[in-house]
Amino acid sequence: MTYRGKAVLESPHDHEPVTGLNTATVSRQGIVTSWSDGAQRLLGHPATDVVGRVITELLAADPSDAAWAALAGAEAWSGTVAVRHRDGSRLDLGLRACPSLDSEGNATGFVLAFAPNPAGNGDGDDREMPERSFTQASVALATFDTELRYQGLNDIACEMAGTTAAQLRGRRYRDTVSDNVATRGFVRHLRQVIETGTPTSYDSQFGGRAWNIEMWPVKDPSGRVHGVGTASFDNSAQHWAQQRLALLNEAGTRIGTTLDVLRTAQELTELVVPRLADFVSVDLLDSVLQGEEPTAEPIDAGVVLRRVAHRSAVEGVPEAAVALGAVDTYPPYSPPARCLAVGRSFLSGLEDPDFVRWIEGDDVRNANVHHAGVHSGMAVPLRARGITLGVAVFWRRLRPEPFQPDDLVLAEELAGRAAVCVDNARRYTREYTAALTLQRSLLPRRLPGQAAVEAAFRYLPADTQAGAGGDWFDVIPLSGTRVALVVGDVAGHGVRASATMGSLRTAVRTLADVDLPPDELLTHLDDLVTHLTSDDDGTTASDAQDADGISATCLYAVYDPVSRRCTLASAGHPPPGVLYPDGTVTLVDLSPGPPLGVGGLPFEATELELPEGSLIALYTDGLIEARDHDIDAGLDRLCQALASPSPSLEVTCDTLIDALLTFPTVRPGEPPSRSPSDLRPRGSPSRFPRPTDDVALLVARIRALHTDQVATWGLPADPEIVADARLQASRQLKAWGLEEAGFITELVVSELVTNAIRYGAAPIQLRLIRDRTLICEVSDGNSAAPHLRRARTFDEGGRGLLLVSQLTQGWGTRQTTSGKTIWAEQLLPTGSAGGFR
């Protein structure tokens, strides 16, 4: 604490009454000759008891030899004596003995003055005590006058100032120090004390240490301030301990705010610079960044590390030897490599030969380190779950004092925290990437070749917070040049949603292959979802809970370019938008149906005729609900965007996405510079921001088969007609210039028509379609089709179908509203490409 002691002896100028003096007189022989009131107050003896007695009777112990000698020589003496109080207790009193002289200069006796609290046991002048105390105080003390001139300062203060008290006394403080935050603060507080006349206390940092500075006014008896006394306490240890605690505390909230590896590393650097270090770098094992599961094995020397974050107290990061995102190899003797190898942190500095060898062995690093004046460093491994992920290196250069062991403990703590967050982010990224990869592997990369529609698609995965979703879309070529357009949405996110989506997509493809009409297809799909859910009931409770969550919607549309009719059915899915060639846009008015897995309610098919050139847009709810979760507003926007003219389907897709998914690209407060997007899986669309829910969009322009590409004939159920049908088919092929296909076609027509006449029912129709392939179809009115599934084995089909299956590229049956159709497809002879006009 502050030295505030008052002078021990009362000043002769003191205005207190003279009676207060503790004095006595003794004769040369030691007989007490007079006894003051003060002496009585001090020792309890009244003058009547003492005067006439030998003074030594009052002593509790013999005085020192020096005292005797002085007294014998009639010299002045001061010192401590042990005196007996009247009550018998012992008092140690300061005693000053002055000889009283006669006119000849001989001592006739002594005047004694007692002081109640002696300054010391030794000899010496008690008046110097406060002076010495001031000078030798363990804290830095200084006194200034009101002009801020040094009036006095003690040894420590001189040491701090680097000079002597004599040099400073009388000089203005401002003239003896450099101008900086600390000195300006000191001056400001001095002035404040002079102005207010009240003590103050504040914290300051200079010379690499933390100080608590007390200041108090020095006043004269009238209360006027004549100067300021200051005392500076070095509380660096306490200060840094507090700082470390604060850093640790903040680490809990500032590191790991996102599930992003790079961002987490950045957060560590932002926290520690400049409070702990002047420069920090975070390097991660390249394998960790590649999403590989790191091993717990020791890391080899010379390991390859990728710089993921660094930060300097100085703009431009002059200390960095490696650019962000670049790879560096630390030599085995370097502190970072050693720390990785043993999994333990290192404190190092210029006194460490390995540190010097490392920075001198690397030209860039050497130049940087010398230039930057780095003198102390710490290398701390980033370890989580017993696995080393990378290393954080802390350097000091601006701050003169080297890192302390306490700093290393703090750095370890912070790095450990960051490592856990990095590991979480890494594992999350891995799962997200896995889900996304799964999702992408389950979605079509490009649309299958077919000529019924021209289609374009977009799939935008949800942002990383939500995880990959369960949206899907499909374009499935069907027999007879028809095509199925599918879009669906499995509720939820993550691998499970993606996997369920995969099951449903496969199921839809399989059911489409059987050529089920849309409403029936959804009924089967609904059964499948119900089964998926009930299958899971047998497993653990948590799984069953998940299974309850299977909820999916689907829209299935089949377009026939011959009839130009589109048949749609929906399982709780939003209706598609249609842009007609005349520019009008409508949402298809269809019965929405229940979502899949609900069961009970029927799915209804809606049929509409689409003029050639119409555009139909299928999408998932992520598109229309993205902006404000207002479905109606989303649908309005969709219609408007669909109506805007567009040179191509790709542009239409972009327009729709732009119109419906417009987000600010940078969140407020987040620097737009290096976003963590670098870690996003490759191939993700960079042009558009991530929606909160995933979005699938499928846009198809309707084409129509020209009438001269299709020939349909009605056939009476009369065996004689078979020959005519064969001839007619052959005639038609001639008109198409496909005589080469005549032989097989005639054979197929014969077999299929014969079968239809023999086993089927009226009306029987023969249809030839010349598109990308040559398709021969025979329909009849008997809905009891021989095979619901496409037959790939021949035993069931009899000889006719055996022939057909061997001669054609593929064949199958499909149900129609009035019966069934058996179709067979042949490749066109080369050089006679068909197609739409």
The single-letter code of the amino acid at 585 is: V
Which lies closer to other proteins via its Cβ, residue 638 or residue 752? 752
In the complex, least distance from residue 723 CB atom to other proteins, rounded to whole angstroms: 9
In the complex, least distance from residue 719 CB atom to other proteins, rounded to whole angstroms: 14
Burial category of 178 from C-beta neighbours within 10 Å (exposed 0-12, middle 13-18, buried 19 and up): exposed
In the complex, least distance from residue 698 CB atom to other proteins, rounded to whole angstroms: 30
Q: Which residue is it, tokens 């938008």?
A: 577
User: Does residue 725 bind other proteins (CB under 8 A)?
Assistant: yes
Subset of residues 537 to 556 that bind other proteins, contact rule: CB under 8 A: none
What is the spatial distance between Cα 461 and Cα 497, in angstroms, rounded to a whole number?
A: 12
User: Residue 396: beta bridge partners?
Assistant: 376
Stretches 11-19, 217-225, 492-500, 727-735: which one binds other proteins (CB under 8 A)? 727-735
In the complex, least distance from residue 495 CB atom to other proteins, rounded to whole angstroms: 51
Query: H-type helices in 121-225, by residue range?
Result: 129-136, 155-161, 165-168, 173-176, 181-196
Check the CA dihedral 21-27-30-33 and report its sign: negative
User: Does residue 724 bind other proteins (CB under 8 A)?
Assistant: yes
The values of phi and psi at residue 464, to 5°, are -65, -25
**Residue 767, number of CB atoms within 10 A of its CB:** 17
Which lies closer to other proteins via its Cβ, residue 204 or residue 732? 732
From 637, 628, 655, 625, select the one nearest 577 (Cα to Cα). 637
Q: Which of 202, 580, 688, 713 binds other proteins (CB under 8 A)?
A: 713
Stretches 95-103, 135-143, 509-517, 704-712: which one binds other proteins (CB under 8 A)? 704-712
In the complex, least distance from residue 691 CB atom to other proteins, rounded to whole angstroms: 45
Q: Which of 280, 578, 711, 747 binds other proteins (CB under 8 A)?
A: 711
Angle value at C-alpha 781, between 779 and 785, nearest 5 degrees: 75
Which lies closer to other proteins via its Cβ, residue 351 or residue 607? 607
User: Does residue 707 bind other proteins (CB under 8 A)?
Assistant: yes
In the complex, least distance from residue 716 CB atom to other proteins, rounded to whole angstroms: 4
The values of phi and psi at residue 302, to 5°, are 70, 35
| Binding-site string for other proteins from residue 769 to residue 808, where x marks contact by CB under 8 A and - marks none | ------------x---------------------------
Question: Sheet containing 279-285: which strands, arranged edge to edge?
Answer: 327-329, 304-312, 279-285, 387-396, 376-384, 346-349
Are the beta carbons of 227 and 145 closer than 8 angstroms?
yes
Are the beta carbons of 388 and 285 closer than 8 angstroms?
yes
User: Residue 801: beta bridge partners?
Assistant: none
Q: Which of 5, 116, 714, 835 binds other proteins (CB under 8 A)?
A: 714
**Residue 101, number of CB atoms within 10 A of its CB:** 12
User: Does residue 716 bind other proteins (CB under 8 A)?
Assistant: yes
Angle value at C-alpha 445, between 441 and 448, nearest 5 degrees: 125
Which lies closer to other proteins via its Cβ, residue 548 or residue 718? 718
Stretches 219-227, 296-304, 333-341, 709-717: which one binds other proteins (CB under 8 A)? 709-717
Angle value at C-alpha 819, between 814 and 820, nearest 5 degrees: 25
Which lies closer to other proteins via its Cβ, residue 80 or residue 728? 728
User: Does residue 816 bind other proteins (CB under 8 A)?
Assistant: no
How far apart, in Å, are the Cα atoms of 388 and each of 259, 298, 299, 416, 732? Answer: 19, 8, 8, 10, 75
| Binding-site string for other proteins from residue 740 to residue 769, where x marks contact by CB under 8 A and - marks none | ----------------------xxxxxx--
Stretches 46-54, 362-370, 436-444, 711-719: which one binds other proteins (CB under 8 A)? 711-719
3-class DSSP state of 449: coil
Which lies closer to other proteins via its Cβ, residue 3 or residue 836? 836
In the complex, least distance from residue 816 CB atom to other proteins, rounded to whole angstroms: 12
What is the spatial distance between Cα 428 and Cα 434, in angstroms, rounded to a whole number?
A: 10
Q: Which of 273, 721, 769, 785 binds other proteins (CB under 8 A)?
A: 721
Which lies closer to other proteins via its Cβ, residue 179 or residue 609? 609
Stretches 597-605, 616-624, 721-729, 770-778: which one binds other proteins (CB under 8 A)? 721-729
Q: Which of 533, 567, 728, 826 binds other proteins (CB under 8 A)?
A: 728
In the complex, least distance from residue 517 CB atom to other proteins, rounded to whole angstroms: 18
Catalog residues that contact other proteins under the rule CB under 8 A: 707-708, 711-718, 721, 724-725, 727-728, 731, 735, 762-767, 781, 818
